[in-house]
Amino acid sequence: MKLDFISVGEVMVQFNAVSPGPLRYVKYFEVHVAGSEANMLIGLTKLGFKTGIVTRVGDDEFGKLITNFLRGEGVDVSRVKLDDSAPTGIYFIQRHFPVPGESTVFYYRHGSAASRLSPDDVDEEYVLSSRGVILTGITPALSSSCYTAVDKMYRIAKSSGLDIVFDTNIRMKLWRDASKARSSLTPFLQAKIVFTNPKDLEILFPSQPIKEAVSNILDRGCEIVVVKLGDKGAIAYDSKGNEHRVEAFKIPIVEDVIGAGDAFNAAFLASVYRGMTVDQALLYAAAAGALVVTVRGDVEAQPSWRDLNAFLESFKGGVVLR
């Protein structure tokens, strides 16, 4: 089967607090399936692309939930391995506390099945069956074998001329040490499209102004660097020296912002790979990100093309595009 995009990373069961406030007072949690790489693949699937994931889940109820969920969303699960010696990773989300409008993530994933991913799980034939690979800075932080698994996918893609998309996605709760994150992730910046944000750029290029850090990435052969600014929108810099901006949509209901960046990436990629301009791609991406924050869960509100057009139609006139 020919796939458009594949990725390698951990998919977890997410327990999302039904009520806002500190988790110690929360009585009910809602169950979701999420993980940055899977979120992007699901977003792309909803926009008509064929995707697949390389991962490991525990041979337990949560592992089965994840596999069924991914399959149900149309992601190829032929490379999802069941591991009977380690559990499926889980995490909790605290919402609107201590900062209203923001969410905090608490991981219970140390020693998980996915943290045992290794280069043996990345088979060359599978990588070559795709048009491009999507990698993030999360998986290399999980363990050294995860790092080498990502590196293997990256190298196969690079040597075979496949497209590489990289989201820096630096999770300091996983890395703990900024210089380790920097030295581990810098090699993956030689990608066709890089998604990042000012905080990650500061870790990767300490004390460099954003534009200088972006030029540094473009100089490595990257075609587009997208700097996501959360509720301030995003700026895409291309290798021809152009800057494209989009404002974020002002959304009246913010349930949970986790996953918005992945939805943004998926819609951006889908638009670019459908031949749209970077400006159009940014607009669809901002719309997808905005939709995701209106619900709990990372992927449920990820849009189809029809949803995106309906959303944009409702915002007509309210969009600032420079």
User: Which residue number, 52 or 297, has a Cβ lying nearer to ligand KDG?
Assistant: 297
The tokens describing 307, both together, are 């949803």
Which of 76, 83, 256, 262 is an active site residue?
A: 262
Least gap, CB of 312 to ligand KDG (angstroms): 23
Rg of the chain taking only CA atoms, in angstroms: 18
Q: What is the rounded distance in angstroms from the CA atom of residue 68 to the CA atom of residue 199?
A: 35
Residue 91: partners with Cβ closer than 8 Å, 6 or more residues away: 12, 13, 14, 15, 105, 106, 107, 108, 109
Q: Identify any residues that bridge with 51 across adjacent strands, giving them in sequence order.
A: 5
Q: What is the rounded distance in angstroms from the CA atom of residue 118 to the CA atom of residue 188?
A: 17
What amino acid occupies position 66? I
* Known catalytic residue at 262: yes
User: Which residue number, 255 or 298, has a Cβ lying nearer to ligand KDG?
Assistant: 298
Residue 99: partners with Cβ closer than 8 Å, 6 or more residues away: none
Region near ligand KDG per CB under 6 A, out of 127-135, 198-206, 259-267, 306-314: 259-267
User: Which residue number, 108 or 305, has a Cβ lying nearer to ligand KDG?
Assistant: 108
* Residue 288 sits in the site that holds ligand KDG (CB under 6 A): no
DSSP character for 295?
A: S
User: Which residue number, 39 or 115, has a Cβ lying nearer to ligand KDG?
Assistant: 39
* Residue 87 sits in the site that holds ligand KDG (CB under 6 A): no
Least gap, CB of 221 to ligand KDG (angstroms): 26
Residue 172 backbone dihedrals phi, psi, to 5 degrees: -65, -20
Q: What is the rounded distance in angstroms from the CA atom of residue 268 to the CA atom of residue 166?
A: 13
User: Pick from 298, 302, 303, 308: which binds ligand KDG (CB under 6 A)?
Assistant: 298
Q: What is the rounded distance in angstroms from the CA atom of residue 247 to the CA atom of residue 228?
A: 10
User: Pick from 79, 171, 182, 245: which binds ligand KDG (CB under 6 A)?
Assistant: 171
Count residues binding ligand KDG (CB under 6 A): 12
User: Pick from 261, 289, 297, 303: which binds ligand KDG (CB under 6 A)?
Assistant: 261
SS3 243: strand
The tokens describing 23, both together, are 């988790």
Region near ligand KDG per CB under 6 A, out of 51-59, 223-231, 242-250, 256-264: 256-264
* Residue 262 sits in the site that holds ligand KDG (CB under 6 A): yes
* Residue 157 sits in the site that holds ligand KDG (CB under 6 A): no
HEC profile of 81-140: EEECCCCCCEEEEEECCCCCCCEEEEEECCCCCHHHCCHHHCCHHHHHCEEEEEEECCHH
In the stretch 16-55, what mask flags binding to ligand KDG with x, by CB under 6 A? Answer: ------------------xxx--x----------------
* Residue 289 sits in the site that holds ligand KDG (CB under 6 A): no
User: Which residue number, 261 or 303, has a Cβ lying nearer to ligand KDG?
Assistant: 261
Residues 91-150 that bind ligand KDG (CB under 6 A): 105, 138
C-beta contacts of 314-317 below 8 A and 24+ residues apart: 315/249, 315/287
What amino acid occupies position 17? A
Least gap, CB of 200 to ligand KDG (angstroms): 12
* Residue 258 sits in the site that holds ligand KDG (CB under 6 A): yes
Least gap, CB of 254 to ligand KDG (angstroms): 15
User: Pick from 63, 259, 289, 297: which binds ligand KDG (CB under 6 A)?
Assistant: 259
Q: What is the rounded distance in angstroms from the CA atom of residue 126 to the CA atom of residue 77?
A: 12
Binding site residues, ligand KDG, CB under 6 A: 34-36, 39, 105, 138, 171, 258-259, 261-262, 298
List residues with catalytic annotation: 262
